[in-house]
């Protein structure tokens, strides 16, 4: 199983390269812990993948929507500065340094609902992280091993009591090959589909056996594209879900996850409203809800 190293102070990337396939580094208001363009470029020159996490002190998600708006602005600005892919995930801390009671979950959900920019991931314990994913508020999950274990739904698992090879790091198992890292895994380019174009295509997912699915916002429409044996098809998700009139969606990368046989897509329309679309792989048909 591949592993990556996460750390908040500079480490020898050459030494990390000997044992790990990538690094996870910080974007935040606290400059000493943040990744720099030089470090980012050095990691990439060594063939290390890079993922980013925004952590603003202890239990930052308890700052609610205002905190989420602030953190997303800071995180995306710093991600731009280092050259982080616009389609790569930024993880945000749902809970740390310990798990939160369920009574605190609504304000954490407000925090994640206010995040914007790049696809968002959630860091914390299994229960809260999967709750955020199930509600379409995070497309990637990073869990702490001792905070409820893990599941096939999440993407990264932070380990305890493991060999750090003398480095001041935490070690993480990569549970899914695409955990939102830069560079993005190579996916399909459905340029022959009627909606065409490569800008803003979501991470590829395997919704049904033998099928590859991507989602794209183009000219204000959220398109679902799927490929079977090299033949691409399309549908407007909002139209298929029965929304009339259909919302207009500004340029963005749709957030997509597969949960228990259900495909979940979240986007924001040009009025700032969040939409949650879901389709069951067996039953078909799109459901829709407006996020509060």
The helix (run of H) or strand (run of E) holding residue 118 is: none
| Residue pLDDT, tens place only, 24-75 | 999 999 999 999 999 999 999 999 999 999 999 999 999 999 999 999 999 9
pLDDT in tens, 213-265: 888 888 888 988 877 666 677 888 998 888 888 899 998 888 888 776 778 89
| Region of 136 on the Ramachandran plot (φ > 0 left; ψ -120 to 50 alpha; else beta) | left
Per-residue pLDDT, 183: 92
pLDDT at 208: 67
| Residue 191 in this model has a pLDDT that exceeds 50 | no
- pLDDT of 209: 65
| CA-to-CA dists, residue 66 to 36, 73, 115, 126, 240, angstroms | 26, 11, 10, 25, 34
Reduced to 3 states (helix: H, G, I; strand: E, B; else coil), residue 63 is: helix
pLDDT band at 195 (very low <50, low <70, confident <90, very high): very low
Residue range 109-134: mean pLDDT, rounded: 94
Q: What is the pLDDT of residue 263?
A: 84
Determine the average pLDDT of the residues in 127-147.
Answer: 93
Alpha helices (H) along the chain: 13-17, 37-45, 64-82, 105-113, 126-134, 237-240
pTM: 0.69
Percent of the chain at pLDDT > 70 equals 89
CB 24 within 8 A of CB 4: yes
For the chain, the structural domain boundaries read 3-174, 212-290
Structure confidence at residue 224 (pLDDT): 87
Locate tokens 């945000």: which residue?
92
Report how far Cα 37 is from the mean position of its chain's Cα atoms: 21
On the question of pLDDT at 192 being above 80, the answer is no
Answer yes or no: is pLDDT of 16 > 80. Answer: yes
Question: How far apart (Å, rounded) are the C-alpha atoms in residues 145 and 140?
Answer: 16
* CA 185 – CA 177 distance, rounded (Å): 8
The reply to whether CATH 3.30.1370.60 applies to domain 3-174 is: no
Taking only the tens place, the pLDDT of each residue in 161-174 is 899 999 999 999 99
> How many whole angstroms separate alpha carbon 34 and alpha carbon 9?
8
pLDDT above 90: percentage of residues in the chain:
60
- For the ranges 6-10, 19-23, 97-101, 186-190, which has the lowest average pLDDT? 186-190
């Amino acid at each position: 199983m591949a592993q990556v190293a996460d750390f908040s102070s500079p480490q020898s990337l050459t030494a990390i390269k000997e044992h790990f396939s990538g690094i996870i580094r910080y974007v935040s208001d606290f400059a000493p812990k943040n990744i720099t363009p030089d470090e980012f470029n050095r990691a990439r020159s060594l063939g290390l993948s890079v993922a980013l996490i925004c952590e603003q002190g202890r239990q930052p998600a308890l700052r609610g929507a205002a905190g989420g708006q602030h953190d997303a602005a800071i995180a995306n600005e710093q991600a731009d500065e280092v050259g982080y892919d616009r389609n790569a995930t930024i993880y945000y801390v749902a809970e740390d340094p310990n798990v939160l009671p369920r009574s605190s979950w609504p304000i954490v959900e407000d925090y994640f609902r206010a995040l914007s920019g790049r696809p968002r991931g959630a860091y914390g314990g299994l229960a809260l992280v999967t709750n955020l994913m199930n509600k379409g508020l995070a497309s990637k999950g990073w869990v702490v091993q001792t905070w409820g274990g893990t599941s096939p739904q999440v993407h990264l698992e932070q380990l305890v009591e493991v060999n750090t090879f003398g480095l001041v790091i935490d070690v993480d198992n990569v549970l899914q090959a695409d955990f939102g890292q830069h560079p993005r895994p190579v996916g399909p380019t459905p340029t022959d589909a009627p909606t065409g174009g490569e800008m803003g295509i979501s991470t590829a997912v395997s919704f049904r056996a033998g099928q590859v699915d991507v989602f794209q916002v183009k000219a204000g429409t959220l398109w679902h594209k799927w490929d079977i044996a090299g033949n691409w098809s399309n549908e407007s998700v909002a139209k298929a879900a029965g929304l009339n009139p259909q919302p207009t969606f500004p340029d963005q990368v749709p957030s997509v996850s597969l949960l228990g046989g259900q495909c979940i897509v979240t986007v924001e329309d040009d009025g700032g409203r969040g939409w949650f679309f879901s389709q069951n792989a067996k039953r078909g048909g799109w459901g829709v809800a407006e996020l509060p």
